[in-house]
Structure 1
């Protein structure tokens, strides 16, 4: 039964008699499922703070697994929808749109040549310009964004400081140190 939380009056009558017994039944409001998350580059650490196990862990509508543990990790990508459902429908669903990063980041930095730029976007591609410290344009290309990141290689460039301009709205500039 899906009863709304409130007090219900229920009376039971025995057919053929004048007997009637009445009861008051209180259906309390359940606590909603709550949790907190900590993001890393490719996974989310989830701690369910209230809610009844077992928990169904769903990413983008696809059941990943079921667990009785209230602390767990789940593989995610930028922009995924995480849902954690409890064994009691009345507790609701813990939902979170995944933001693994909220600012443009480069890693590793310093680099020996290859590095990734992590972008908080759902776009498929991005235009990137790379400048030397002397403001000389070294590269201007479109890059595919895969799993929220762009892979760049400046191994053929000399050691130094480079400025990477990500053409977006607004444009972002990241300083890269090549060692």
Structure 2
């Protein structure tokens, strides 16, 4: 189950775009072999709201584009596809039988500005940010260069599956 909550009024987000994002989240989880019921929450906010959250949780007093709040504790730092097939998560990670992966906060205001800065569509930008964040919920990271290469490759593969490229 995917919960989407638009808490901002600065950037218009239509139902069609929300539907695409829902399909992308579902696809991300399925391609990573998540075959059980799951829960992901997405909130859309503005720059002021994401700055406040960034300050509170990361102690960084500036706006950012997306924040991920994973709920799961993985058996190792490096998580790849088979973890969901081979690992038994504690019951505390479930809500009404759904595995709770976590929360995503996206600043639509920042995404809009970045789409202009990078010269591609707003749709491409928020799809990318959504995929990026879902991969964080799945245990991917980009601190180490090797991990960054793996994560970027996976992001691009998912975007390509939806025919979303930098020219869009």
The bucket for the TM-score relative to the shorter chain is under 0.3
More strand by share: 1
Structure 1 length-normalised TM:
0.20
Larger helix fraction of residues: 2
TM-score, normalized by length of structure 2? Answer: 0.21
